Structure 1
Amino acid sequence: MTFVQVIDCKTSRFEELDRLMDAWVEKTKGKRTATHSVIGKDRLDASHFIEIVEFPSYEEAMRNSTLPETDRIFQDMVALCDEMPTFTDLDVVRDQQMFSATVRRFFELVQAPGELPPLDEVMGEHYHHHDPANVDDVVGMDQIRREMRLWREGFTFAFTVEDLIADGDRVCARWFWKGTHRGDFLGVPATGREVFMTGTTVFRCTGDGRLAEGWWEYDRLGLMEQLGVFEELER
């Protein structure tokens, strides 16, 4: 679970404090576990600053705090503050921006060349896949990987995410898909044709930012027409 630490401090020597934090970043390069940091200044009190630091987990944050550079920087930081800074530890229970980033990463992974990468960084083990083209829903990481391999063996393709709209634990993606038919797909031998589709997918995400469920809508009929399936039937 993503972990956030909020550091609240007052200082009339912010420029020095800012240089100190730059020094800490340089000295801990390759060792620190923080993934993102934001510093805000109180609009009503120019000496009041709040830093929000994000970590992949509480455990990673604790590993970061045990670095000798972190301890030295903390002592120097206290000396630059007008009073003792306070620290608030937070487990992230929802992050809509993280959900959108996960969806973008999912589309990057499924179109990556070569062997299909692991999907566990973006998808829960029991992911539930709704596809109107399937008689039954696909449930589970192994099942969804088999579904993705079917497409990857049939096409070399790429997604372009046109829009992402997040609301609560849902992210809606409007996408454009373009591919080259290079292998058997649902009994249709490779044609070498360039094909394309548009579609929309609504994902449900869990608190840790991974995908738990997806509802897909796309023009499968139009795709089969581009592959010449109906040409064969008309003969």
Structure 2
Amino acid sequence: MAGFVQIIEYRTSKADEVTALMEEFRAKREADNDGPAPVRGLTCADRDQAGRYFSIIEFKSYEEAMENSRRPDTTEFSQRMMELCDGPATFYNLDQLAEQNYR
């Protein structure tokens, strides 16, 4: 199983604005239908620490993720998102080793 996952940990007091920005980015990327795009994305709120969030973005490969990262629209999205955050984000870059699906 080849795959790549990027986890972005961030804090924000503007969660609704971040969600709207993510949806805008996803819709535009889907409409343009050019270049690499994530396979799947999840946004999660930390139940134990208010204002702490994680975006979990899945790609087919590390190479596609890096190509996606170099896109001007991804750079613009990232800059706009960081403006909505309460401090810098932490990025985790993970090679996917296995996948389990449960009922």
TM-score > 0.5 by shorter chain? yes
Tell me, what secondary structure is at the counterpart of 1:28? helix
Alpha-carbon distance in structure 2 between the residues aligned to 1:26 and 1:67: 16
Alpha-carbon distance in structure 2 between the residues aligned to 1:61 and 1:11: 24
Alpha-carbon distance in structure 2 between the residues aligned to 1:25 and 1:67: 14
Alpha-carbon distance in structure 2 between the residues aligned to 1:15 and 1:33: 23
Query: Is contact 1:39–1:49 with CA below 8 Å preserved after alignment?
Result: yes
- Structure 1 runs not aligned, ≥5 long: 101-163, 165-235
Alpha-carbon distance in structure 2 between the residues aligned to 1:51 and 1:19: 14
Cα offset, 1:50, TM superposition: 0.5
Cα offset, 1:38, TM superposition: 0.9
Aligned to 1:149: none
Give the structure with higher Rg (CA): 1
State which of 33, 50, 56 in structure 2 corresponds to 1:52: 56
Aligned to 2:94: 90
Aligned to 1:152: none
Aligned to 1:38: 42
For 1:128-147, what aligned pairs fall within 5 Å after superposition?
none
Alpha-carbon distance in structure 2 between the residues aligned to 1:33 and 1:2: 13
Q: How many residues end up aligned between the 2 structures?
A: 99
Structure with greater strand share of residues: 1
Alpha-carbon distance in structure 2 between the residues aligned to 1:44 and 1:50: 13
Alpha-carbon distance in structure 2 between the residues aligned to 1:4 and 1:82: 23
Alpha-carbon distance in structure 2 between the residues aligned to 1:96 and 1:10: 29
Tell me, what secondary structure is at the counterpart of 2:56? strand
Alpha-carbon distance in structure 1 between the residues aligned to 2:27 and 2:44: 21
Deviations 1:186-221 (A, max 9, x none): xxxxxxxxxxxxxxxxxxxxxxxxxxxxxxxxxxxx
One-letter amino acid matched to 1:45: Q
Query: Is contact 1:27–1:69 with CA below 8 Å preserved after alignment?
Result: no
The percentage of aligned residue pairs carrying the same residue is: 36
Deviations 1:72-92 (A, max 9, x none): 010011100001001100001
Aligned to 2:7: 6
Does 1:26 pair with 2:30? no
Cα offset, 1:46, TM superposition: 2.0
Aligned to 1:65: 69
- Structure 2 runs not aligned, ≥5 long: none
Higher relative CO (Cα under 8 Å, sequence separation at least 6) belongs to 2
RMSD, aligned α-carbons: 1.5
**Structure 1 residue ranges, 4+ long, deviating more than 6 angstroms after superposition:** none
Tell me, what secondary structure is at the counterpart of 1:43? coil
